[in-house]
Chain A
Amino acid sequence: MLLVIDWSLLMEKLLLIVVIVSVSLVIAMYETYAERKIAAYIQDRIGPDRAGPFGIFQPLADGLKLFMKEEIIPNTSNKFLFILGPCLAMLTAMMTSAVIPWGGSLHLFGRTITLQVADINIGILYIFGVVSLGVYGIMIGGWASNNKFSLIAALRGASQMISYELAMGLSLIALLMLTGSLSMKTIVQQQMDNGVWNIVYQPLGFLIFIICAFAECNRTPFDLPEAENELNFGYHQEYSSMKLGFYLFAEYINMFISSAIMATLFFGGYDIPFFNEATHIQTWGPNIVAILGTVALILKIGFFIFLFMWVRWTIPRFRYDQLMNLGWKSLIPLSLFNMLVTGAVILWKQNHWHF
């Protein structure tokens, strides 16, 4: 009886996976469009406006162009690893979305459908594990190209991601001490019940986390792995056609996912501000409230994506030693300090605010 498979649950989860994967692909597609538009608007230009009204078919045209390009595999490269690189980058980018709670629960056909693929109790650890696998995409791609610049870029990318993951993890530990849970769903639920988002308790932790998220996504000001003017193109120098597209796409999906994580951990996830979900479920029914919650989450994610792009087109790139100084000498001590203060306050609270 242990091996009885709940087919409807399986179908439900499969459907959810398909929806989430295709939605994140579409969002990544339109992130490229948004990036070009935002860059243009910040530089007093209009940006792509030829393909369709306001250029909204531009990502399709870009995708078509990438598919039509000749696929070149350098003959001195390691072919297996060369193909594995972009696949890994894409895979790790997509895998993270499994544990993010995209909304409350729907009631359809007499079933309660949670809008989350897997509510595992170690959600954040899972994300960290998968994100650190993302280094392999860059490392393998850079190494398999058999090109000096790609290798340098891959080394830079690996060391940057590893050093910023430390500060990122430490900044989250303070948050986890507050919530007492690693499950993303529980963290959101707590924020909804308290009515106060975690950003209020952990402003410094959020600041450190967002800086590290920029570094993890290889976005400006930390885009050293793909510093065009130093390394030609970075770790994807030798890539062409859709393999290059995969690398670029993976970057945008990473950005989307890290925005989702930031919104979930610090900004209440699918919680709608100044809106009592529990009473509205009584009056409006659970489905409408769940959909509204998902829309709220998407809006929060959209704001963070805009922030990513806004920062990208404002700040120039860090120098490599500055990057390392910032990571090791500023962010890690700061996050340790944050952890200490949070721990002290929690102990003080447990002692009913008596010393």
Chain B
Amino acid sequence: MQALTNRVKVVERKPMNWVERLYLWNILKGMIITLKHFFQRKATIKYPEQKRSFSPVFRGLHVLNRDAEGRENCTACGLCAVACPAEAITMEGAERKKGEEHLYREEKYAARYEINMLRCIFCGLCEEACPKDAIYLTETFAPANFQRQTFIYDKQDLLIPDPIKEPELYAKAAGGRVRKN
């Protein structure tokens, strides 16, 4: 039969000679290979102590961003909830009262903001939909838990730490993806 490519390697099927039938030589060769692997560098990452570094485009848990003065960006417009293909986002808007200007950047804010992490598919469409730079996906992923209820993240779980009061925590939570103002 004509070969389709020039990379075809024809397998020779001749009866084994006496040395080959003893298998010992081939077993020895195999054992040398495994011994080489015995001394090779190990591929294991010792997980809780060592962590694999994520790419900057990794889409993990969400954060709700704040501006440079530590005010929440979210205006509860609902575009993220509309964009969400898994319908994981719920929110309730509220009007900013007098004296709350240091808490919320605009006149309307999210009183309730929940993401069901079991429904979420981490596609990042909410991030793309947001006109206010308020929601970002970070380089952390959801920890395991025994109760389903704990996977519904409310606003307190999602809000990024205050950049003025806790700058280190803010930088850590923001990672390389969140846009800092």
- Per DSSP, chain A at the interface is loop
With contact pairs A310-B34, A313-B34, A314-B34 given, residues A41 and B27 touching in the complex (Cβ less than 8 Å): no
Contact status A314-B44, CB under 8 Å: no
Which residues on B sit within 8 Å (CB–CB) of A311? 27, 31
Which residues on B sit within 8 Å (CB–CB) of A46? 42, 44, 46
CA distance A310 to B37 in the complex (A): 11
Q: Is A43 an interface residue (CB 8 A)?
A: yes
Contact status B27-A310, CB under 8 Å: no
Contact status A310-B42, CB under 8 Å: no
Contact status B38-A41, CB under 8 Å: yes
- Quote the shortest CB–CB distance from B25 to chain A (angstroms): 13
Contact of B44 among A42, A45, A207, A313 (CB under 8 A): A45
Q: Is B1 an interface residue (CB 8 A)?
A: no
How many positions in chain B have a CB within 8 Å of any CB in the partner chain? 15
Contact of B46 among A43, A49, A310 (CB under 8 A): A49
Which residues on B sit within 8 Å (CB–CB) of A41? 37-38, 42
Contact status A42-B38, CB under 8 Å: yes
Contact of B27 among A38, A43, A49, A315 (CB under 8 A): A315
- Quote the shortest CB–CB distance from B27 to chain A (angstroms): 6
Contact status A310-B35, CB under 8 Å: yes
Which residues on B sit within 8 Å (CB–CB) of A43? 37
Q: Is B17 an interface residue (CB 8 A)?
A: no
Q: Is B11 an interface residue (CB 8 A)?
A: no
In chain A, residues 183-228, which have Cβ atoms closer than 8 Å to a Cβ of chain B? 207
Q: Is A44 an interface residue (CB 8 A)?
A: yes
CA distance A45 to B33 in the complex (A): 15
Which of chain B's residues has its CB closest to A221's CB?
B27
In chain A, residues 27-69, which have Cβ atoms closer than 8 Å to a Cβ of chain B? 38, 41-46, 49
Q: Mark B20-59, 1 if CB is under 8 A from A, else 0.
A: 0000100100110111011011111010000000000000
- Quote the shortest CB–CB distance from A316 to chain B (angstroms): 10
CA distance A207 to B22 in the complex (A): 12
Which residues on B sit within 8 Å (CB–CB) of A315? 27, 30
Contact status A44-B46, CB under 8 Å: no
CA distance A314 to B24 in the complex (A): 13
Contact status B37-A42, CB under 8 Å: yes
Contact status B34-A44, CB under 8 Å: no
With contact pairs A41-B37, A42-B37, A43-B37 given, residues A314 and B42 touching in the complex (Cβ less than 8 Å): no
CA distance A45 to B35 in the complex (A): 13
Contact status A44-B30, CB under 8 Å: no
- Quote the shortest CB–CB distance from A236 to chain B (angstroms): 27
Contact of B31 among A44, A45, A207, A310 (CB under 8 A): A310
Contact status B42-A44, CB under 8 Å: yes
CA distance A313 to B36 in the complex (A): 13
- Quote the shortest CB–CB distance from A259 to chain B (angstroms): 17
Which residues on A sit within 8 Å (CB–CB) of B41? 44
Which residues on B sit within 8 Å (CB–CB) of A45? 42-44
CA distance A42 to B34 in the complex (A): 6
- Quote the shortest CB–CB distance from A49 to chain B (angstroms): 7
CA distance A49 to B38 in the complex (A): 16
Interface centre among B30, B37, B38, B46 (most CB of A within 10 A): B38
Which residues on A sit within 8 Å (CB–CB) of B31? 310-311, 314
Which residues on B sit within 8 Å (CB–CB) of A207? 24
With contact pairs A314-B30, A315-B27, A315-B30 given, residues A44 and B35 touching in the complex (Cβ less than 8 Å): no
Interface centre among B27, B34, B40 (most CB of A within 10 A): B34
- Quote the shortest CB–CB distance from A164 to chain B (angstroms): 16
Q: Mark A304-317, 1 if CB is under 8 A from B, else 0.
A: 00000011011100
Which of chain B's residues has its CB closest to A43's CB?
B37
- Quote the shortest CB–CB distance from A27 to chain B (angstroms): 21
Which residues on A sit within 8 Å (CB–CB) of B42? 41, 44-46
| A-B pairs, 9 with minimum CB distance | A46-B44, A314-B34, A42-B34, A314-B30, A41-B38, A314-B31, A44-B43, A46-B42, A45-B44
A–B Cβ pairs within 8 angstroms, 25 of them: A41-B42, A42-B34, A43-B37, A44-B40, A44-B41, A44-B42, A44-B43, A45-B42, A45-B43, A45-B44, A46-B42, A46-B44, A46-B46, A207-B24, A310-B31, A310-B34, A310-B35, A311-B27, A311-B31, A314-B27, A314-B30, A314-B31, A314-B33, A315-B27, A315-B30
Extra pairs beyond A41-B42, A314-B30 (10, CB < 8 Å): A41-B37, A44-B41, A44-B43, A45-B44, A46-B46, A207-B24, A310-B31, A314-B33, A315-B27, A315-B30
